[in-house]
Amino acid sequence: MNVDFSLILVIAVFVTGTIWLLDKFIINRSKKPDQIKDGKQTAIGSVWSMLAEFSRFLFPVVFIVLFLRGFIAEPFRIPSGSMLPTLEIGDFILVNKFSYGVRLPAWNKKVIDIGSPKRGDVIVFRYPEDPSIDYIKRVVGVPGDKVAYYDKVLYINDKPMLQGKETVYRPGYDYIVRKSENLGGVVHDILDNKMYPARDFVITVPEHRYFVMGDNRDNSRDSRVWGFVPDENLIGHAMIVWFNWELGDWPRWTRIGTLID
């Protein structure tokens, strides 16, 4: 079950804010002066007072968290290897929430248009087939682009994206190689599994849609399988790895501070 933490924060802000405002501007003003002075109150009044005091303390806390998480930056954890070698399993990353427009928390409705994803951007988005799940991939095609894939070489508008020299990714796995790819000026590394055949295709990206792929090209469920990412599904631009920890293993301290290119 996927929990929408943003929705929980929105509800918490609404509930605590409502209770605090009711107590401050209605309940307290309706009390008689002698009740306030003597501190006389019923059992229900006592419970309400505790609830109001708790809300007064909690409201600014959840409001600040909602603002930072909803409009500035949001943390995510990488659960799979589809973005290897750029992102490793267990990476905790920060995502810039305003790179592609200011959006309402929980509803993800864009209210201020700031910018759009560019080729090479690593983006977090709501999975088109199940918006309750967040995905992370690299943008390889923007609206209007002709995207082609021949013999595991990416072509954008009929121009090949140059690849660098191949090196074995891990000892003992000679069939998995690592190489660089120049995606329109964004140079990043990808993985190629020589045991997997090429899955050639040609496609044109429609308006307000994006074509995305994982850097682990032969082990990624991406736009080649389920299609384009709609603009309304965008969450933000992945910026930096701030921690790494996988259950049953030690934290990989060298990952901290890794910029996501």
Same domain as 143, residue 37:
no
Count of positions (residues) in the chain: 261
The H or E element containing residue 229 is: strand 229-230
In this prediction, residue 1 carries a pLDDT of: 39
Q: Which residues pair with 139 in a beta bridge?
A: 212
Q: Report whether pLDDT(240) > 70.
A: yes
Q: Report whether pLDDT(11) > 60.
A: yes
**Annotated active-site residue in 137, 152, 220, 223:** 137
**Annotated active-site residue in 82, 99, 220, 223:** 82
- Nearest of 131, 119, 237, 101 to residue 187 by alpha carbon: 119
Q: Sign of the C-alpha dihedral, residues 203, 207, 213, 215?
A: positive
Would you say residue 260 lies in a domain? Answer: no
Q: Report whether pLDDT(37) > 50.
A: no
CATH number of the domain that residue 228 is part of: 2.10.109.10
Instruction: Identify whether 82 is a catalytic site residue.
Output: yes
65 — pLDDT class (breaks 50, 70, 90): very high
Query: Exposed e or buried b for every residue in 226-253, given b needs 16+ CB within 10 A?
Result: eebbebebbbbbbebbebbeeeeeeebe
In this prediction, residue 4 carries a pLDDT of: 79
Domain final residue pick, 72, 93, 115: 72
Query: Using one digit for the tens of pLDDT, what is the confidence trace for 86-123?
Result: 999 999 999 999 999 999 998 899 999 999 999 999 99
Same domain as 123, residue 25:
no
3 — pLDDT class (breaks 50, 70, 90): low
**Nearest-10 Cα torsion for 63, 68, 70, 75:** -130
The Cα–Cα gap between 82 and 79 comes to 9
In this prediction, residue 144 carries a pLDDT of: 98
Q: Report whether pLDDT(194) > 90.
A: yes
Domain final residue pick, 52, 72, 92: 72
Domain span including residue 176: 78-255
- What is this structure's pTM? 0.89
In this prediction, residue 106 carries a pLDDT of: 87
Share of the chain above pLDDT 90, in %: 78
Our count of domains for the chain comes to: 2
Q: How far is CA 34 from the centre of its chain?
A: 54
Mean pLDDT of 222-234: 98
Using CA atoms, how far residue 108 sits from 23, 98, 104, 212, in Å, is 31, 11, 5, 20
In this prediction, residue 49 carries a pLDDT of: 84
DSSP line for 158-226: TEE--B---EESSTT-TTEEEEEEEETTEEEEEEEETTSPP--EEEEPPTTEEEEE-SBTTS--SHHHH
In this prediction, residue 42 carries a pLDDT of: 63
Same domain as 59, residue 157:
no
Share of the chain above pLDDT 70, in %: 92
